[in-house]
Amino acid sequence: MSTHAHKSMNPLLSLPTKKKEQIFSLLRKCKLTDEAVREQTGIASLTRLQVEQFFARYADEYWTMRVKRASNEANSLIKLVQKNPVEFSEGVLAALGQEVFRQIASGKVEPGVLVQFTQLFARKRADDRAERALIARLEKQKQDMRSKMELALDSFIAEVGKNPVAQKAFGVLKTELLGDMDKWELA
């Protein structure tokens, strides 16, 4: 049986998409009687069988549309994220796509909300990367300072051995420091 023949037999299937969605949604929530469907559509000759056929048929269409939209939207968002200057691993992209698909397929969120969610996700990720880069830079600076200090101390030690005045001053300093340490122990 062709789709055209099927639609000509059931006038509900020839209604505009928006109207079909509205009637399907109300039937799904059991908020519409056959009589109410006749009133809403203005088709007085509708039979119960036609209403049941419409529901069964449109449920299939509705599901296919929703899931197609979910998978298309998930693919589009992955492409959008891939264009972001921050690089994401394949694992992160797959997880993001799966979550987008799950949310839209289950009807929990609308696609527009997910675009915002993805942009926020990308921004947060960029911030995290910037923060990690800053920490790494500070750590490098600390390492550089430590290296320079070690170098200066090594030079100082070498110099002390050569210079009798510095050696004497270093001896005084050593005595003072050790003396202080004795006090700390007593304290």
Partner 1 sequence: MKTTLPETEAPYTDPEALLQARVLKILKPCLSYWLDEQTLYLTLNLSRPAVTRARLETALRELRDKAYLDFRVDPLSRLTEWRLTPSGHSLAQPL
Per the CB < 8 A criterion, the answer to whether 34 and 48 are in contact is: yes
The yes or no reply on residue 79 touching partner 1 (CB under 8 A) is no
The yes or no reply on residue 77 touching partner 1 (CB under 8 A) is no
Per the CB < 8 A criterion, the answer to whether 25 and 55 are in contact is: no
The yes or no reply on residue 70 touching partner 1 (CB under 8 A) is yes
Identity of the residue numbered 36: A
Q: Is 186 helix (H, G, I), strand (E, B) or coil?
A: helix
The yes or no reply on residue 170 touching partner 1 (CB under 8 A) is no
Sequence-distant (6+) residues with CB within 8 A of 24 are 54, 55, 58, 59, 62
The yes or no reply on residue 106 touching partner 1 (CB under 8 A) is yes
Q: Judged by CB under 8 A, which of 25, 67, 79, 86 binds partner 1?
A: 67
Q: How many residues does the chain have?
A: 187
Q: Judged by CB under 8 A, which of 22, 40, 71, 84 binds partner 1?
A: 71
Query: Please, which of residues 29-58 interact with partner 1 by CB under 8 A?
Result: 49, 53, 55-57
Tokens 């675009």 sit on residue: 115
Identity of the residue numbered 126: A
The yes or no reply on residue 8 touching partner 1 (CB under 8 A) is no
Contact set with partner 1 (CB under 8 A): 1-3, 6, 28, 49, 53, 55-57, 59-60, 63-64, 67-68, 70-71, 74-75, 97-98, 101-102, 105-106
